[in-house]
């Protein structure tokens, strides 16, 4: 209900459609826990507003592995490739098949917005265009010539 702009790193949708579904499929979540999680999700969705724009940072598994290695966090070093592959498949399914809001996809493998100011500027320009540009509220968006927008709806 806040009137302020809110930027959120992860959404409740990801918790349900990506991480929870992945853990359930891999046998790490009981049916009882799944049902409890879904009940809580449904209750939360009655009071939470859908984001104005979902930004999907799509990365390949090798890119994800590289990030994990760069961070060097002990607890991340044992993450299996299968887990990362499953997450990527579930993210794609969520973004392209389940989520009905506006989405802007960023191909992470091709950008280094942490170290390259030009890459960050491109992303900021695309976000501004999606939220405030001439076609911001239309059914479609004119793609950036350097990187197509996968879907805006």
The model's pLDDT over 87-127, given as tens digits with 9 standing for 90+, comes to 999 999 999 999 989 999 999 998 998 899 999 999 999 99
**Angle between helix 61-71 and helix 81-93 axes, rounded to 10 deg:** 120
CA 27 to chain CA centroid, nearest Å: 23
Nearest to 87 by CA among 10, 22, 14: 22
Q: What is the pTM of this model?
A: 0.77
**Per-residue confidence (pLDDT) for residue 50, from 0 to 100:** 85
pLDDT at 144: 44
Determine whether 109 is an active site residue: no
Given 9, 92, 112, 125, which residue is catalytic? 9
In angstroms, the CA 107 to CA 110 distance is 6
The pLDDT score that the predictor gives to residue 6 is 80
Check pLDDT > 70 for residue 43: yes
- Other residues' Cβ atoms within 10 Å of the Cβ of residue 23: 16
Average pLDDT on 116-141 reads: 80
């Amino acid at each position: 209900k806040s009137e302020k702009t809110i930027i959120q790193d992860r959404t409740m949708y990801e918790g349900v459609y990506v991480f929870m579904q992945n853990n359930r499929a891999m046998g790490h979540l009981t049916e009882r826990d799944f049902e409890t999680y879904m009940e809580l999700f449904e209750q939360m969705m009655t009071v939470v507003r859908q984001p104005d724009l979902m930004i999907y940072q799509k990365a390949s598994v090798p890119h994800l592995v590289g990030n994990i290695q760069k961070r060097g966090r002990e607890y991340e070093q044992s993450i299996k490739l299968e887990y990362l592959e499953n997450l990527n498949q579930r993210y794609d399914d969520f973004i392209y098949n389940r989520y009905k809001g506006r989405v802007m996809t960023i191909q992470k493998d091709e950008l280094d917005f942490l170290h390259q100011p030009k890459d960050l500027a491109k992303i900021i320009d695309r976000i501004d265009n999606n939220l405030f540009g001439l076609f911001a509220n239309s059914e479609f968006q004119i793609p950036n010539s350097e990187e197509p927008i996968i879907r805006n709806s």
